Every structure is written in structure tokens, then in C-alpha cells.
């Protein structure tokens, strides 16, 4: 009875400027990325379509600028989001440290405007030459504190991790809303 349905989900991708939100999305949605940093102005959009069983799932990613000058736009950008991804940098730099400190602000912001939606945390690193055991304990603790649905250490250089993280979010949303639509129709 529910075969062949179409599911559409808006996903807000948030975090401080310069943490790698746009390259991660481009890697997932197009299979490529640009190494040069280009600041997002307002928001950018990416679409990903996936077939699960006989159903079609479309994720519409809203890549929201992380700079404070765009803060006033966020409530309208967050509107109708079914999930969010908070990205922070694992780099040992000023940007990395500040982005980690701001995870709580991003969490508060998205929950204020969207309620109790599933949030996934990406600790993003620009190169793969790192000790993941060190970062794993940190990201696990942050995810536990804020009750995030899942967490990942990501890198645009590791296609497998990026695809797994985004695909798992797609399937998580699909399963949640498929179950809800089935309950509503029973």
C-alpha cells in the first residue's frame, strides 16, 4: 500500500564559517569538491535523490552561512527542516577551536526554531593524517551531551565516510517518516 511513495526532506547544514560544510555537501551530491575556500552568502542548496525499495527519497540540503553577519536570516532558513547536520572543524586552529565551542550555540539555534528534530554532528578534518581515537572520544562526548542522533568524523578526502554519513541520515529520515505515514494511514 505504501510502495512507490515520494519523500522529501529539508536538511539544514550548519556550523561556523570555514569548517567545510560546502565541500562535504558537494562531495556527497556531485562526487567532487573544490579545495579553495569560498564563503557561502546566505544559503546554498543541494539536492540528493535516492531510491529505497520502491520509494523515492529526496534530500534538499540548505547549506547555511556560518558567519555572524547572516545570523538574522537563520530563522527563515531553518523553517521546515526535518533534520540538521552541525559541522565543526577538528583542525587545531582558531577556526577549529571556535567551531567546537560554538556547537552548543548551533544546537540551541536549530532546536529553538525546529524543535526536536534529529541532529547529526560531523567533526570535519581536512586531511586524513590524524589520530581518530583522540577525536572519537571528544565527538562521542559532545554527541552524548547534546543528544545528537549520530556523529561522524568526516573528511572530503575520505569519500567512503562522507557517503556513509549522508546516506545513513537519508535512511534515518526515511524510516522515521515512512513509519509515521503508515501509522497515519492505519
Would 182 be classed as within a structural domain?
no
Q: Which residue has the cell 560554538?
A: 102
Would 184 be classed as within a structural domain?
no
Residue-wise pLDDT for 41-61, tens only, equals: 556 778 889 898 889 999 888
| Number of independent structural domains in the chain | 1
- The CATH number of whichever domain residue 18 belongs to comes to 3.40.50.300
Q: What is the pTM of this model?
A: 0.85
Q: Which string of b and e fits 19-48 if b means at least 16 CB within 10 Å? A: bbbbbbbbbbbeeebeeeeeebeebbebeb
What nine digits make up the cell of 136? 572519537
**Percent of the chain whose predicted confidence (pLDDT) is above 70:** 76
Would 179 be classed as within a structural domain?
no
Would 183 be classed as within a structural domain?
no
Residue-wise pLDDT for 132-174, tens only, equals: 545 667 788 889 999 999 888 888 777 777 888 888 888 888 9
Would 186 be classed as within a structural domain?
no
The chain-wide mean pLDDT, for the chain, equals 80
Residue 45: per-residue pLDDT? 77
Distances, alpha carbon 57 to alpha carbons 51, 79, 164, in Å: 6, 20, 16
Residue-wise pLDDT for 93-112, tens only, equals: 888 889 989 999 999 999 99
Residue 38: per-residue pLDDT? 54
Residue 36 pLDDT grade (very low, low, confident, very high; cuts 50, 70, 90): low
Residue 78, pLDDT > 90, answer: no
Would 181 be classed as within a structural domain?
no
Give the Cα separation of 165 and 37 in Å (integer).
22
∠ at Cα 25 (22, 26), nearest 5°? 85
Residue 1, pLDDT > 50, answer: no
Residue 133: per-residue pLDDT? 47
Residue 126: per-residue pLDDT? 64
Would 64 be classed as within a structural domain?
yes
What is the span of the domain harbouring residue 92? 6-173
Would 185 be classed as within a structural domain?
no
Give the Cα separation of 158 and 45 in Å (integer).
22
Residue 77: per-residue pLDDT? 80
Mean of the pLDDT values across residues 6-22?
Answer: 89
Mean of the pLDDT values across residues 62-74?
Answer: 69
Amino acid at each position: 500500500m505504501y510502495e512507490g511513495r515520494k519523500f522529501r526532506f529539508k536538511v539544514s547544514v550548519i556550523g561556523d564559517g570555514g569548517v567545510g560544510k560546502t565541500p562535504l555537501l558537494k562531495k556527497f551530491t556531485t562526487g567532487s569538491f573544490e579545495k579553495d575556500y569560498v564563503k557561502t552568502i546566505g544559503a546554498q542548496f543541494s539536492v540528493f535523490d535516492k531510491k529505497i525499495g520502491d520509494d523515492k527519497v529526496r534530500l534538499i540540503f540548505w547549506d547555511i552561512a556560518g558567519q555572524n553577519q547572516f545570523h538574522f536570516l537563520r530563522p527563515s532558513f531553518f523553517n521546515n527542516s526535518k533534520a540538521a547536520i552541525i559541522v565543526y572543524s577538528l583542525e587545531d586552529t582558531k577556526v577549529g577551536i571556535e567551531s567546537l565551542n560554538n556547537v552548543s550555540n548551533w544546537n540551541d539555534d536549530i532546536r529553538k526554531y525546529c524543535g526536536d528534530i534529529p541532529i547529526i554532528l560531523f567533526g570535519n578534518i581536512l586531511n586524513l593524517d590524524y589520530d581518530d581515537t583522540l577525536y572519537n572520544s571528544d565527538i562521542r562526548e559532545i554527541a552524548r551531551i547534546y543528544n545528537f542522533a549520530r556523529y561522524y568524523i568526516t573528511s572530503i578526502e575520505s569519500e567512503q565516510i562522507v557517503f556513509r554519513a549522508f546516506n545513513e541520515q537519508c535512511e534515518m529520515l526515511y524510516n522515521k517518516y515512512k513509519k509515521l505515514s503508515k501509522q497515519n494511514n492505519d
